[in-house]
Structure 1
Amino acid sequence: MFGFIASPCARCTESSFPAWRGSFCGLARCLGREFGNPSRLLVNRDATFLALVGVSLDPSPPRWRRETCCNPLAMPFPVTDDHPAVMHAAAVSVCGLATKLADDSRDEGPVRRTASRIGATLVEPATDRAVQWLNSSSFPTQRVIELLNRQEDLEARDPIHADRPTSEAFGTITGHLAEVLPLPGQGPVLHQLGSALGSLVYWRDAWDDRETDRRKGRFNPFHRVAEPAIGERIQAAWSGFTDALSKLPFVRHRELFDSLCLTTAERHGSFLELKSEEKLERRRKRRRDREQSRCCDSCDCCPCECCNCCPSCGSGTARSAAGSKGCLDACFDCGPGDSGCCDCCPCDGCDCCPCN
């Protein structure tokens, strides 16, 4: 349920937050229906963002149906699981898993390599269906595979530009929404949006893996290139991402994307500034100590108090007054939408999460 994109603040976007929840859970339902129930585990925020961009740009209103998500006994709520943008995001998610398994089968230790090869065999039927759907929409599947296959060579030759294959692949995936829907004239801006996101995903992954890669003797661009140079590329990617979002003519849910930008910037503050997580956490703690908590509007699963974690409105996610445990720990974490529960529940109330 992870991804670079953070979930939006439910309180800031009360009128449109259900669209995020419905897209997230609609993507999970689409994955299960089209590629088998185990594929539901591939639902993630970046793919939800891709689907929601398409849903929000489409001049034709999406079809919302009242369904449940993870918990079949929960109260149904509106989801969209058959929109072309949702299907595109689902197919890309399955192919992304296949690409990751292929990469691990080359790079990891003997146990991980064996597990990755077994995993690739198990997901092969779902991967074949996903590739078939992408090809039917004229997606350049082979070109994207070739781009990603250039990753190791580029890392060895030109580490400062090591993000380019991932960036170009994400750009192609997002830009293809203009063909899937269709959206005449929006291809270049969508490509810019996806390209910037792909670059941010690559550098964030490298930033998180610095110490592990050093220990294991694996390539990491932060070991080969001065941080200020990488920092410039990260800032350029973030600027490109926000600029592209501002240019897109959303038919609906504009405020939801504004909130996504705010919560994502808050979640990745240390990375965007290339500062250690410890320093950022000390800064967050000082801010929480100074500010009074305000209770959020949708604590429908527990008596709660809230931390002041949203940079926009000061609202936060529910935490039990007696101390959070189990589901509440997942709902709270320390940032808006920094856990799986926050993606599909506004309390996030946990009616559709596996943690209830």
Structure 2
Amino acid sequence: MFGYVTISEPELKVKDLRKYKAYYCGLCRTLKERYGGVGQLTLSYDMTFVVILLTSLYESETNHSTHRCKVHPVKKQNMLQNQMTEYAADMNMILSYYHMKDDWVDEKKVSGFVGTYALRRRVKKIIQKYPRQSHVIQKELKMLTALEKENSQDIDKTAGCFGRLMGELLICKEDQWESRLRKMGFFLGKFIYLMDAYEDLEMDQKEGLYNPLKELSKKPDYEERCREMLCMMIAECSAQFEGLPCLLDVDILRNILYDGVWTRYRRIQEQKKKSEEKNNDKESI
């Protein structure tokens, strides 16, 4: 995952911030308990959002505990864990496993081989437990890899792969909320993929790497069109969310969807502004 689906800390109440951190630390501990240190390396804000969303929707019974960890060795941290934390941890491992497997098979990356070898035995059980999600994750990652190899500039196709992957990942139960969750995940996944491509464009251009926005970036209205696409994706995602009966931690969820997801975007804009000002100063000299 990419870490774009996070909170806007200044806009969050203190009690909600503490609870959000407890969910995050709970997911970290669950990854460690189930998959060791390798599992902890896959921890992300995006999957913390999934935990909070599904906990709110299904009103899962949550356990509170306090523990020390390597990051916080002195002070015990509050941790919230439940069935949805375990589900999110499992999905995180499947996603990481198939991603690293593709890196090894397609690009012969040593990190992909090492990661695949380290996770293979543990992830095999998860794949058997969640065949539906595993199949879609593997299928969409393969399709995305193929499109990237073709240097596809069809952003709807490439982002759609990650959208369908995210849509399937949100469905832990096939029930009356399945359709709405799938749509919500689809648009959220497309937003994540677009934001990642937008953030990495300059670096990818310098290093000659693939980016689905390269052709669009040549257009004079590139910035405007990117923002429009991002706004459209998160608006559709939020519309689906508002149709869910989520009451628990709804302020945290809305903080993420309406403000937090734009945190990195605002940071990128600030960096671009500073860079432009620096260049203008050089030209004036």
Normalising by the residue count of structure 2, what TM-score does the alignment of the two structures yield?
0.81
Query: Displacement of 1:239 after TM fit?
Result: 0.9
Partner of 2:57: 57
Partner of 1:186: 177
Moved more, 59-68 or 24-33: 59-68
Partner of 1:43: 43
Query: Displacement of 1:11 after TM fit?
Result: 6.9
Classify 1:130/1:8 alpha carbon distance in 2 versus 1 (closer, same or farther; 3 Å): farther
Classify 1:98/1:280 alpha carbon distance in 2 versus 1 (closer, same or farther; 3 Å): farther
Alpha-carbon separation, structure 2, partners of 1:40 and 1:70? 11
Instruction: Confirm whether residue 128 of structure 1 aligns to residue 124 of structure 2.
Output: yes
Identify the match of residue 277 of structure 1 among 268, 271, 284: 271
Which structure has the higher relative contact order (CA within 8 Å, separation 6+)? 2
Instruction: Confirm whether residue 206 of structure 1 aligns to residue 197 of structure 2.
Output: yes
Query: Displacement of 1:93 after TM fit?
Result: 1.2
Query: Quick one: percent identity of the two aligned structures?
Result: 18
Deviations 1:101-122 (A, max 9, x none): 23333565x6xx2332233212
Partner of 1:197: 188
Instruction: Confirm whether residue 148 of structure 1 aligns to residue 141 of structure 2.
Output: yes
Partner of 2:281: none
Query: Displacement of 1:27 after TM fit?
Result: 0.7
Asked if structure 2 preserves the Cα contact closer than 8 Å seen for 1:10 and 1:17, the reply is no
Deviations 1:217-246 (A, max 9, x none): 333211233535554432211211222333
Alpha-carbon separation, structure 2, partners of 1:42 and 1:158? 29
Partner of 1:116: 112
Alpha-carbon separation, structure 1, partners of 2:203 and 2:12? 37
What secondary structure sits across from 2:95 in the alignment? helix
Instruction: Confirm whether residue 159 of structure 1 aligns to residue 154 of structure 2.
Output: yes
Partner of 2:4: 4
Partner of 2:250: 254
Partner of 1:234: 230
Asked if structure 2 preserves the Cα contact closer than 8 Å seen for 1:163 and 1:203, the reply is yes
What secondary structure sits across from 1:163 in the alignment? helix
Asked if structure 2 preserves the Cα contact closer than 8 Å seen for 1:196 and 1:241, the reply is yes
Is there any run of 5+ residues in structure 2 with no aligned partner, and where? 278-285
Asked if structure 2 preserves the Cα contact closer than 8 Å seen for 1:6 and 1:267, the reply is no
Classify 1:61/1:140 alpha carbon distance in 2 versus 1 (closer, same or farther; 3 Å): closer
Query: Displacement of 1:24 after TM fit?
Result: 0.6
Deviations 1:181-207 (A, max 9, x none): xxx422222222211221112112212
Asked if structure 2 preserves the Cα contact closer than 8 Å seen for 1:8 and 1:17, the reply is no
Cα RMSD (Å): 2.9
Moved over 6 A (4+): 280-283
Is there any run of 5+ residues in structure 1 with no aligned partner, and where? 284-356
The residue type paired with residue 99 of structure 1 is Y
Alpha-carbon separation, structure 2, partners of 1:239 and 1:172? 19
Alpha-carbon separation, structure 2, partners of 1:280 and 1:190? 39
Asked if structure 2 preserves the Cα contact closer than 8 Å seen for 1:193 and 1:245, the reply is yes
Deviations 1:17-36 (A, max 9, x none): 23211211111111111112
The residue type paired with residue 196 of structure 2 is D
Partner of 2:167: 171
Query: Displacement of 1:216 after TM fit?
Result: 3.9
For these two proteins, the number of residue pairs brought into alignment is: 268
